[in-house]
Chains A and B, each alone.
Chain A
Amino acid sequence: MTTKNMTGASILWECLEREGVTTVFGYPGGAILPAYDALKGSKIHHILVRHEQGATHMADGYARASGKVGVAVATSGPGATNMVTGIATAMLDSSPIVCITGQVGSKLIGSDAFQETDITGVTLPITKHNYLVTHASEVARTVREAFYVARSGRPGPVLIDITKDAQQTTAEFDWDAAKPQLPGYRPDLSPEKKEYEQALELIHNSKRPVILAGHGIIISGAMNEVRDFAERTGIPVALTLLGLGAFPASHPLNLGMMGMHGEAWVNHTIQEADLLLAFGMRFDDRVTGNLKTYASNAKKIHIEIDPAEINKNVKVDVPLVGDLREVLHELLPHVESIDRSEWLDSIDKLKGDAAVRDIQNLPDSGHLYAAHVINDLWRETRDVETVVVTDVGQHQMWEAQYYKHEKARSLITSGGLGTMGFALPAAIGAKVARPEAEVWVVVGDGGFQMTLCELATIVQEKLKVNIAIINNGFLGMVRQWQEFFYERNYAATPLLNPDFAKLGEAYGIKSMTVSGRSQVVPSVHQAQQHDGPVLINFRVEQEDTVYPMVAAGASLHEMIRRPSKIVETAGDE
C-alpha cells in the first residue's frame, strides 16, 4: 500500500471518493474552508445549497432514492446547527447519511470561539454515531468507520466534526479498505433456529394472518422475498407510510396503507387478525393507535434488524432479529401454501361502503380537491420511472392514499420526524441520485415556504424537478386537528401566501397556477414536456379533510370516516 503525505482536507475528499461518493451537498464557511480549498483537486461534484438544512435533506433524499450514503457538508457553529433537523429526520427514518462539519481549531475548542458549537454534543441523541477529529492522521479511519456505521445494520446518520487544524495539517495517507475494526458494533445479528421454528409454527397455525410491511423491506432490498412470501403463503399485506412501494400497489394481496390515515378496512383487518407478521417496521404510534386495544387477538412475529425495537411498543411472541432479506431467505423454503380464501373474502367484505365515501367517486362540483390532483398525477406518471417526494401534512396523506406506488424508492417522505420543509431539498437529492427518473415534489403551501430557498439550487444545478404545490391556504393538517379537537378554532393556521407562480418565475422556473379539475392533466403534461424545472401551484379546496382518521390515542378500529351527509350533499350537486 502506498502512503503519501497529504493535508487532512485532501485526505477527506480522497476518502469520500474511495467510498463511492460522487456528489456532496454543502455550504462553505470559515472552519470548513481548508476542505473547500482542497475540493478543486477532487472529482467530487459539490452542490451549493442555500441553507444547511437543505444539504442534509438532499443527502437524505439522495440516500433514499439510491440506497447509497448521502453526504452533506457545512461549517462550524450555525452551519452545523442548521443541520440538526435534517439529521434528526434521517435518524428517525433510518436513512444513511454522513454529515461533515468544520470545527474551530483544536486549541480553541472550549473557548466559545467565533462560530464554535459542540456539535458532537448537540447531535449525540440524533446520530447513530458521531466523531470529533482533531488530527489529520485520524481522518481516513474516521471516514471509513462513518460510512460503514451509516450504511450497515439499521442505517442512520453519522456526523464527522473536523477541526480546522486537522484539515490544514498533513499526515501520511494510508487507506485501509478492510472492514473497520469496531469491537463494540454488531450490525449483523441473526435469529436462532428455535425462533425460526416458532415463527413457522405460528404462520402455519394462523387463520387470519396479515403482513405489516415497513421501511425495512426497502432498506434491506427484500421486495422480491416479501412478494414470494406473501404469494406462497397467501397472506395479505398492509403497508406503513414508509413501506409504500415495498409491495406493489396493484398486487391482489395488497391491502394498502394502515394506521392513522390508512383505509378503514385495512385497520379493521389488522384488528381482526390472529397473526401479525411485522416486516421491518417498528409499531409507531401512528400505525398502532391505542396500544391497549391494538390487534389484541393476534400473535405477533417481528422481523427486525434492531434488537432495541423488540417489545418496545408492542409485545411480540416471536422476535426474529436480523436482516429481513436474510431472514426471509431462511423462512421461505419452509413456508407452506395454505388456502386463505375465507380470510381474504372476509377482508373484501370489510371494504363495505368505502368506495361510496371516496372523494374520488363524487361528481365534479367544480372544486379542485387534492385527491384529484394526486390521482391524476399518478395516472400521468405511472408508465414512467417516477420518484415522488412529499412534504408533511395533508398532501402527504393524500399522496399515500391516491398515488399507487408499485416500486420501492418511488416515494420519499419524512415519516418518523414529520419534517415540514423536507420535500423540495430531498427531491434535489433524489434527482441527483437518479437523473433518469421523473422527480415530482408534492408539497403543501406551508412546508414549501420553509425551504423554498432551494429553488435557487435547482436552477443553479439545472435540475429537472417538477414541483406540485398543493395550496389550500392553510396549514392544512393542523387546521384539521383544530377542526376535530379544538372546536374549529383555526388559530394561526390560515396562510397569506405569495403568488407562488410569480415566485417560481422570479427564480427562472417555468410556473403556472391551476384551479380547475380539467386543467390538472394538461399542466402535468406541460411539466413533463418542458426540459427544465416546472412549478405548478394547485389551488385546491381550502377546508378539505383527510379521511379516515384515527384520533391520537384512539383505537385503530375507531376511525373518523368521511361523513355520509357530505356524500349525500355532494351527490345532489
Chain B
Amino acid sequence: MLNTYVVYVENKPGVLTRVASLFRRRAFNIDSLTVGRTEKPEVSRMTITVDADHDQARRIEANLYKLVNVLLVENITNQPAIIRDLAMIKVAATHDARSHVLELASVFRARVVDVAPDSLTIEITGAEDKIDGLLEVLRPYGVLEMVRTGIVAMRRGKSSTTAATTSTGADVTEEDVSHSV
C-alpha cells in the first residue's frame, strides 16, 4: 500500500541526496517526493510516498532516523491529513471546445491560468484522485502537456514542527486532531 511520510530534515546541502539514496539502497521505490522550506529556515520538509507493506513501512521510518540530518519522521498514512498535489494541464481548446473545457474546470474548482488561441492551461490543486478525475474528462479534448508537483501533506490539527527541533519526536494525540476542510 502507499505510505505517506512527512520528514523534517536539516536544511543542509546534500540532504535530499541522502534521503533519496537511502530509498534506492534499501530497494524501496519512491512514488512521490517533494521538498521545500518550512517556517524555520534551518528546517526543510519532505513529503514522501512509498509503496510498502507494514513491516517495510516501519523499517523505512527506522532507516530514515539513522540519517544524522533527519529530525523527525511521521508516517501519516492512517492519520487525518490534508494531502495536496498541484497540476498544470495544457488542453487543446479551439473555439468550439473552449466553453466545455471552461465548464469542466469550474466543476473541478480549477483555475484557468493561461489562454492561447488553440489551448487553455488549467491549474488545479487537490488530492491526487481529484486531479486524475479532471485529467480523465479533459483527455478527449487533447491534453498537450501536463506537470504535477507530487504530493505535499500536512496532518490536521496540532503542528509537528516544534518536535522537529527537539531530539525526540512527540506524538500528536487524538484530542489535537481537527476535522476542518
Binding site for B on A (CB under 8 A): 120-121, 124-125, 128-129, 132, 149, 182-186, 306-308, 310-312, 315
Residues of A within 8 A of B167 (CB): 183, 186
- Return the contact of B68 from the options A121, A132, A185 (Cβ within 8 A): A185
> At the interface, is chain A mostly helix, strand, loop or mixed?
loop
Nearest neighbor of A125 in chain B, beta-carbon distance: B25
Give the size category of B's interface with A: 20 to 34
Q: Closest CB-CB distance, A325 to chain B, in whole Å?
A: 21
Nearest neighbor of B26 in chain A, beta-carbon distance: A308
Is B63 among interface residues, defined by CB-CB distance under 8 A?
yes
Contact A121 B71 (CB under 8 A): no
Contact A124 B17 (CB under 8 A): yes
Per the bound structure, the CA–CA distance linking A323 and B68 in Å amounts to 18
Contact B65 A310 (CB under 8 A): no
Is B158 among interface residues, defined by CB-CB distance under 8 A?
no
Is B168 among interface residues, defined by CB-CB distance under 8 A?
yes
Known: A124-B21, A183-B167, A315-B55. A307 touches B65 (CB 8 A): yes
Contact B59 A308 (CB under 8 A): yes
Per the bound structure, the CA–CA distance linking A124 and B66 in Å amounts to 13
- Contacting A at CB under 8 A, from B53-112, are 55, 58-59, 62-63, 65-72
Q: Closest CB-CB distance, B64 to chain A, in whole Å?
A: 9
Residues of A within 8 A of B168 (CB): 186
Per the bound structure, the CA–CA distance linking A307 and B21 in Å amounts to 19
Contact A311 B68 (CB under 8 A): no
> At the interface, is chain B mostly helix, strand, loop or mixed?
mixed
Q: Closest CB-CB distance, A265 to chain B, in whole Å?
A: 32
Per the bound structure, the CA–CA distance linking A132 and B9 in Å amounts to 18
Is B36 among interface residues, defined by CB-CB distance under 8 A?
no
Q: Closest CB-CB distance, A312 to chain B, in whole Å?
A: 6
Residues of A within 8 A of B63 (CB): 308
Other A-B pairs, 19, CB within 8 Å; known A129-B67, A308-B65 = A120-B14, A125-B21, A128-B66, A129-B68, A149-B68, A184-B65, A184-B67, A184-B72, A185-B68, A186-B65, A186-B167, A186-B168, A306-B62, A308-B59, A310-B59, A310-B62, A311-B55, A311-B59, A312-B59
Is B166 among interface residues, defined by CB-CB distance under 8 A?
yes
Q: Closest CB-CB distance, B167 to chain A, in whole Å?
A: 6
Per the bound structure, the CA–CA distance linking A184 and B165 in Å amounts to 8
- Contacting A at CB under 8 A, from B158-173, are 165-168
Per the bound structure, the CA–CA distance linking A149 and B72 in Å amounts to 18
Per the bound structure, the CA–CA distance linking A236 and B4 in Å amounts to 44
Interface pairs A-B: 3 shortest CB-CB = A308-B62, A307-B62, A184-B71
Most buried by B among A183, A184, A185: A184
Per the bound structure, the CA–CA distance linking A315 and B13 in Å amounts to 36
Residues of B within 8 A of A125 (CB): 21, 25
Contact A311 B71 (CB under 8 A): no
- Return the contact of A121 from the options B17, B58, B59, B70 (Cβ within 8 A): B17
Most buried by A among B10, B14, B25, B72: B14
Nearest neighbor of A310 in chain B, beta-carbon distance: B62
Is B18 among interface residues, defined by CB-CB distance under 8 A?
yes
Residues of B within 8 A of A315 (CB): 55
Nearest neighbor of A121 in chain B, beta-carbon distance: B17
- Contacting A at CB under 8 A, from B1-45, are 9-10, 13-14, 17-18, 21, 25
Residues of A within 8 A of B25 (CB): 125
What are 15 sample pairs from A and B whose C-beta atoms fall under 8 A apart?
A121-B14, A128-B66, A149-B68, A183-B71, A183-B165, A183-B166, A183-B167, A184-B10, A184-B65, A184-B72, A186-B65, A307-B62, A307-B65, A308-B59, A310-B59
Q: Closest CB-CB distance, B129 to chain A, in whole Å?
A: 32
Residues of A within 8 A of B166 (CB): 183
